[in-house]
Amino acid sequence: MKQINTPEFFKSLFTGTFEGGSMRSSIERISRALILTTLLVVLVSAIMLPPGGNANVIEEDDYLGKFSYDDFETAKACGSACHSLIYEQWKQAMMSQAYVHHWDEIEYFKLAVPHAEKDENVAEVKAGCNGCHAPLSYMAGDVPPPKPEEGSRANEAVTCDVCHTIVGIKEETPYNFNWVIRPGGPKQGPRPAEMVDSPHHEVAKSDFLNKAEFCGSCHNEMSPYGVWVKSTHLEWSEGPYAEEGVRCHDCHMTKAKSRTASMGNEYDDAWMHLFHGAHDPGKVRGTIEVRIQPDIREVIPGEPVKFTVALFNQKTGHKFPTGSVEDRIVWLHVEAIDADGNVYHLPVDAKGFEGEEYTIAADVLAYQDMGIALDLPGFAGVQRDGVPFGDRIFRMPYFDPQGRMTIQQWNTKSLGVDYRIGPRETKLETYTFTPPYEVALGTMKVHATINYQKLVQPVAEFLEVPEEETEIIEVNTHFTEVTVID
């Protein structure tokens, strides 16, 4: 075959001549037009793709008020007709409770909405919170939505027909519900259409549905001040699991042999719609491995002994804690119990890094900006931590425009030190303890326990959040022994 001179070939398409003769017949002219059209489509597509070639990036306007509730199937219709198993799993997951969950309701109506109405810098959150927590109401322009007790369709929260009609995202980085949605179109699923025989709706295979970026469109959030206040997907993307191809779905939507529809095929790899995470005690327990050991085994009253605690994140593909980091509190509590049962609390040894004061529990006040929404001028705040003073806290503090620690992610203008535990990271903490002279002789047990709360206790008490939100979950514990001698 004769080699084509590429520049001359392109030139001939536009001039109408090939080597060896002219293109004069109708067939030749039609062929040339088809080739030119194809080349232009390819070139335009290449130009419109962002750096990296993410074909799921689609230009789209904002969806606020663009659709109506009736444009979306109800979750109950999906569950009662065909997808009963998946529906029941979803009903127990936070996806179905993202709007009706008690803390989310209190945070939105008691803090976010009144704050947005008083401060133009954060005005967008009045509608924007609903883009992820109540997307149907956002797209229907029903903002603020009716309160959960009114029973509107906003209560469906992240419902079936939202996720399964999303076809891509608007920017290269997923965040702030920047998904692109096509209600009324084929339901997006993980399998080719020819494998699925649905009597009710069309089906289209979606590669995007299986990507971590799909989750990141709501599990990354930027505040009105341009600060990443939720970055679960970004944390994953920078960690070891992303490199190994382990996605969000693999841990939070495990696979099992099951039917995805009651009349459909049984698959060996059907995705479970469990979405178990920060609100699931079973998921939280065991996240961090804990080991404690002393530097000496025999101790003398009045003489110091140093204990080292190793904490290994062996379970999460992102940092722990993640997501609503402004709410979560994870802390390490160490105590010694002598032979007579006397208990001694051991404070952590300071390391001296910048911002460390926010990672050691102390008797200080914070969260003063709640006073804006609550009409409390000069509000002094509430106790910052609510855990034993001197305990190590694994957190990243959020600061409001005045530089005060805030519990309100929308009012976050800067971040403090990130002292959370990354995926497969091990942190070492030391505790130097000098047994008092009155300590009982004999065996002393020293316990190290890492605890987790979904919401800081003093904030929950102040805002009258149900006690369920401040349940202390023991993530892990370990103990060692020393002998006290005279």
The arrangement of strands across the sheet holding 305-313 comes to 288-294, 305-313, 426-433
Q: Which of 119-128, 257-266, 287-296, 427-436 has the lowest mean pLDDT?
A: 257-266
Residue 459's Cβ-count burial label (10 Å; 0-12, 13-18, 19+) is buried
Amino acid at 272: M
Which of 50-64, 411-425, 431-445 has the lowest average pLDDT?
50-64
With a cut of 70, say whether residue 378 has pLDDT above it: yes
User: For residue 305, which amino acid is it?
Assistant: V
Q: What is the mean pLDDT of residues 304-311?
A: 98
CB 393 within 8 A of CB 359: yes
User: Which residue has 């997923």 as its token pair?
Assistant: 174
Euclidean distance between CA atoms 100 and 83, whole angstroms: 22
Which DSSP symbol is given to 451? Answer: E
pLDDT of residue 56: 67
Q: What is the pLDDT of residue 52?
A: 35
Q: Does position 453 have pLDDT exceeding 60, yes or no?
A: yes
Residues 6+ apart with CB under 8 A from 353: 417
Element containing residue 399 per DSSP (H, E)? strand 398-399
Beta bridge partners of 392: 332, 360
Element (H, E) at 204: strand 203-205
Binned at pLDDT 50, 70 and 90, residue 16 comes out as very low
The count of other CB atoms within 10 Å of the CB of residue 438 is 9
- Residue the block writes with tokens 């390391």: 351
- Judged against a pLDDT cut of 70, whether residue 451 lies above it is answered with yes
Confidence of residue 230 (pLDDT cuts 50, 70, 90): very high
Residue 26 is predicted with a pLDDT of 39
* Contact indicator for 242, 318 with CB cutoff of 8 Å: no
Percent of the chain with pLDDT over 70: 88
Whether 11 shows a pLDDT value over 60: the answer reads no
β-strands 305-313, 228-231: how paired? unpaired
Q: Where does the chain hold its CATH 2.60.40.3880 domain(s)?
A: 281-484
The Cα-based distances of 297 to 305, 336, 485 in angstroms read: 9, 14, 10
Mean pLDDT (the chain) is 90
From the list 198, 277, 318, 254, the residue with the least C-alpha distance to 454 is 277
Give pLDDT, residue 263: 83
| Alpha-carbon gap, residue 398 to 414, rounded angstroms | 6
Nearest Cα neighbor of 469 from 459, 454, 458, 456 is 454
What is the C-alpha to C-alpha distance for residues 80 and 102, in angstroms, rounded to an integer? Answer: 26
- Kindly state the average pLDDT of the residues 107-127: 98
Q: Mean of the pLDDT values across residues 331-360?
A: 98
Least reliable range by pLDDT among 259-263, 284-288, 369-373, 400-404: 259-263
Note the CATH architecture for domain 281-484: Sandwich (2.60)
Distance CA 12, CA 19 (A): 8
Higher pLDDT, 17 or 328: 328
Q: Which residues pair with 22 in a beta bridge?
A: 17
Reported as a single tens digit per residue, the pLDDT across 277-296 is: 999 999 999 999 999 999 99
Band the pLDDT of 183: cuts 50, 70, 90.
Answer: very high
